Amino acid sequence: MMGTREKEEASLVPFPSSQHTERNAAFLGIALGICFTACFVTGLLSHLIQHPPSWFTWPSRPAWGYRVTQGIHVTTGIASIPLLLAKLWVVGPKFFTWPPVRGVAHALERASLLPLVAGSLFLLVSGVINTARFYPWGFYFPKAHYTAAWITIGALIVHISLKAATTRSALRKAPPAEATTTEGSRRWFIASAAGAAGLFAMATVGQTLKILSPLSALGQRIPGFGPQGVPVQKTARGAGVKVDVANYHLRVTGKVERKLQLSLSELQALPQRTAELTIACVEGWSTTATWRGVTVRELLDLAGAPSDATVRVISSERRGPYRTSELNASHSNDLDTLLALELNGEALHVDHGAPVRLIGPNRPGVMQTKWVREIRVV
């Protein structure tokens, strides 16, 4: 049931409805709080993995770790879209209240809404555009997305602390007995918002869980679709890479006892290892395949590199943010961290990084460097 003020507020919006209630706002707020927190934590983690400060080490195990954390990031982000739209619609009348400010606490609360709403909308829109692999802003995207995440989470903390009491009392208040119709339609309203969030989530998870892939309307990649049964992120042509297999050499350089330069046939003559490994893209899709090649540790031993070495993997791609990646000691010592020569039983396809690409357990896709030409111990 609506109070007098709520009724007045509701009459100010173009679509008066019995759903502009504190209770709906509270339910949606809690759902959004959970999704935003999960999305923020997993996003922060992804950032730390890709730009590790000295106090942070991302281990190479469990192999499925990044697939799960980034899957949660993209899925909770996408599920937030219908929840946020529903929440904005429910609280819509409040934006039109008069007087606009009723004291200090109210002023603070309203002021925190601007970064909260603007930040949330920016994060969701830029995230979706990113998963759609449309980067109108070049490399600016991760930085802007990351900065906006901190602003939004800060505003969210302020918002939650100011709204905690309202939320608690809105949820405690038993729905009045005479208002069964309203209560019924409220349930229906919340169920639709939750249902839409669930559908969006399922349609997203389909790009990483094969069993849901028929529902993957929002997925950008289909597991199992692409050369050698694996989707391609960037083609060799798109990366401007021309591969000359006959003259190819892999170099092992940097702080080593012996610098190495190995042709493809020399690499093929080394012991080969097979592993089931996953490409888990930051964009949320993932796919697991059978990879075969030389263990990075094998090459480091041949070159006489120390076992605690950090290793920079460098592509023959000339430009672009993903032309190099780093292996911390956990990854460079993991025997499943490979310089792959084969994928699903065939020589690696050029779009998957032929003749040699890095592939290892528990790494973001962006750090599975393709067209590797140099391993530098730093």
Strands ordered across the beta sheet of 249-254:
260-263, 249-254, 372-377, 311-315, 324-327
Q: Which residues contact 91 (CB under 8 A, 6 or more apart)?
A: 20, 25
Binding pattern for the stretch 226-245 against Mo ion, x by CB under 5 A and - elsewhere? -------x------------
Under the binding rule (CB under 6 A), the answer on residue 279 touching ligand MTE is yes
> For ligand MTE, which is the closer residue by CB, 21 or 315?
315
Give 305's Cβ-side CA count (13 Å radius). Answer: 27
**Residue range at the interface with ligand MTE (CB under 6 A); choices 32-40, 41-49, 132-140, 224-232:** 224-232
Distance (Å, rounded) from C-alpha 273 to C-alpha 334? 12
> For ligand MTE, which is the closer residue by CB, 21 or 130?
130
**Residue range at the interface with ligand MTE (CB under 6 A); choices 42-50, 52-60, 261-269, 368-376:** 368-376
Under the binding rule (CB under 6 A), the answer on residue 19 touching ligand MTE is no
Exactly one of 117, 193, 232, 350 binds ligand MTE (CB under 6 A); that residue is 232
Number of CB atoms found within 10 A of residue 326's CB: 17
Smallest gap from Cβ 281 to Mo ion, in A, equals: 3
Total of residues contacting ligand MTE (CB under 6 A)? 21
Distance (Å, rounded) from C-alpha 289 to C-alpha 343? 7
Total of residues contacting Mo ion (CB under 5 A)? 4
Exactly one of 219, 353, 355, 365 binds Mo ion (CB under 5 A); that residue is 365
Closest CA to 29 of 111, 113, 128, 125: 113
Under the binding rule (CB under 5 A), the answer on residue 281 touching Mo ion is yes
Q: Which residues of 1-17 are buried (b: 16+ CB within 10 A; e: fewer)?
A: ebeeebeebbeeeeeee
Under the binding rule (CB under 6 A), the answer on residue 239 touching ligand MTE is yes
Distance (Å, rounded) from C-alpha 24 to C-alpha 30? 10
Under the binding rule (CB under 6 A), the answer on residue 355 touching ligand MTE is no
> For ligand MTE, which is the closer residue by CB, 190 or 372?
372
Query: Contact residues for Mo ion (CB under 5 A)?
Result: 233, 281, 365-366
